Amino acid sequence: MALIFYARVSSKGQNLDRQLVRAKQVKADKIFTDKFSGKSTNRIGLKKLLDFIREGDTVEVVSLDRLSRNYQDIQHLVQQFKDQKIKLIVDDLPQTNTGNNLVDQFMLDMMLNLMSFVAQNERKKIRERQRQGIEQAKKRGVYKGRAKKYAANSSNREGRLVYEGIKRDYQNNDYKTKAELARKYGVTRQQLYRIIDTF
């Protein structure tokens, strides 16, 4: 029976340190991690965890939204754990130990349902606030949209270099076909056309 810890952050720019400290504190036998959005369960670390777990194991997370931010996905994962007789520990949920397994399971199910609903609802609120912010920015004429990776002023150094290289080759006619130019710089043809449109 192993204790498996799962840690997730939404993007590569964020770090897992706080969650990994907790994994060490509880002496996890195995740790799986993801740096990917919680809106989908299509994550490499989560898939590896689901392949790894066996009956009698325990899965621990610091909070329920580390598993997912989607209500149905959380329900599905929790049911999968139950079916495999995997215990789930969520650090920010109180653990019930009444001595009656049926009552403990009922209390846990109730809390999981509530917290998974809260996680999805919070995600909806975040999206709504983003939408309202974009609308207000558009009205003020200050909305610039998502920053472009391939642009002269891109904050991504590699993106700037690719942009400058394509611009130089394109303007100097230093290419045979656009498909070849796209391959040279590791971009799709659609991306190449969008870059060329900015010259």
Q: Where are the beta strands (DSSP E) in the chain?
A: 3-9, 30-35, 58-61, 87-90
Rounded Cα gap, residues 57 and 29, in angstroms: 10
Rounded Cα gap, residues 74 and 80, in angstroms: 10
- Determine whether 10 is an active site residue: yes
Q: 50-88 in b/e burial notation, b at 16+ Cβ within 10 A?
A: beebeeebbbbbbebbbbbbbbebbeebbeebeeeebeb
Rounded Cα gap, residues 70 and 127, in angstroms: 13
> Which DSSP state fits 175?
-
Annotated active-site positions, please?
10
